[in-house]
Amino acid sequence: MVQQGSIVSLTRGHYRLCTPLGGSAYGIVWRAEAPDGAPVALKLLNTEQMGRAPAGLRGHWTDSARIEIDFLAGLAPWDGRHIVRLLDSGSHAGLPAMALELLDGDLASWLAVEQAAGRPITPCQALDWCAQVNQALGKVHAAGFRYLDLKPANLLLERATRTLKLADFGTTRPLFEAATHSYAGTARWQAPEQFFPGPDGRYLAGQRSDYFSLGALLYYLVCGRLLRYGAACGEAYGLHGQAGAGALRARHGGLPPILGGDEAADFAGRFGSAATQALGLLRALLAPQPDARPRHALDISRMVGSVREAMAGGSARMAA
């Protein structure tokens, strides 16, 4: 069992654990001191949870950590602008471990503080963050992976520059493998094909599923709340697990509505003169069918640019 002051040895040296920062059901992240004294984030598997978990689940957690290390290690230095940097890796207690750059916390925690203080995110900031995350997803897809778990808790924030970096790559799946896969991700942020399984009980999520999650994130940032669709999926999963998809489909007689008319109006109304372009971007990202969503990150980048141009034009007219 690790504790404050424990030493963890990885490939490039020894790391001293300082303070736990958080984690998931199977992992824990520590603020640690690198061999040169610099602060880093050290990500370890939770040996206590591993000891209690079934063998199959332990294997899945270990594989997820190795997938994350392999993905981050394979990135070129110029790929990391909006993806957390891997500084070192190795094993601890026979399990994968990694040292990552240390940022100021995750976006979910920061947003909770801002919302509690009554400080809403501006549409300009939301659009800028959407563009940053789109760049990160573009790198993930170009590397041959689908991310599958985009949400505020998996985005790390550098507060001084308002820069976001995508983190936690344990759920990624290779794009070149068979399209169907087992359940992965977080229900409240998932595309329909990622939450509702096919007839064989497996899922058909691909890179355009990540774009749906980007749309759900954009709506959340602008409006300060989840899509009703995402909230319903999250509630159903919380009550019934993966069987919640069937219960939700039965309740609605098919796929629940993705974007309500009032939700669309509220979102568009926050963009003023750019309402048409902003709503067009949101609807494209949240299209129920994957084929109707943008094809790749460049398409999204162009749509974001269109919204920015419309916002700038509106500001110029007001100034005149």
pLDDT tens, residue by residue, 173-207? 887 765 667 788 899 999 999 999 988 888 888 89
Q: What per-residue string of b and e applies to 163-184 under the rule 16 or more CB within 10 Å gives b?
A: bbbbbbbbbbbeeeeeeebebb
Same domain, 138 and 276: yes
* Residues 182 and 241 placed together within one structural domain of the fold: yes
Single out the residue in 85, 100, 115 at which a domain terminates: 100
Task: Report yes or no: 217 and 152 within 8 Å, Cβ to Cβ.
Answer: yes
* Domain assignment of residue 2, yes or no: no
At 135-147, the pLDDT tens digits run 999 999 998 889 9
| Domains: count for the chain | 2
What tens digit of pLDDT does each residue of 204-240 get? 888 999 999 999 999 999 999 999 999 999 999 999 9
The answer to whether residues 60 and 86 belong to one domain is yes
Q: Are residues 96 and 122 in the same domain?
A: no
- Is residue 64 domain-shared with residue 160, that is, in the same domain? no
* CA angle 193–198–200, rounded 5-degree value: 150
* 8 A C-beta contact, residue 72 and residue 83: yes
Question: Element (H or E) spanning 41, and its range?
Answer: strand 39-45
The domain of 180 spans 107-319
| Counts of helices then strands in the chain (DSSP H, E) | 11, 10
Same domain, 214 and 274: yes
> Is residue 314 a part of any domain in this protein?
yes
pLDDT tens per residue, range 254-311 = 999 999 999 999 999 999 999 999 999 999 999 999 999 999 999 999 999 999 999 9
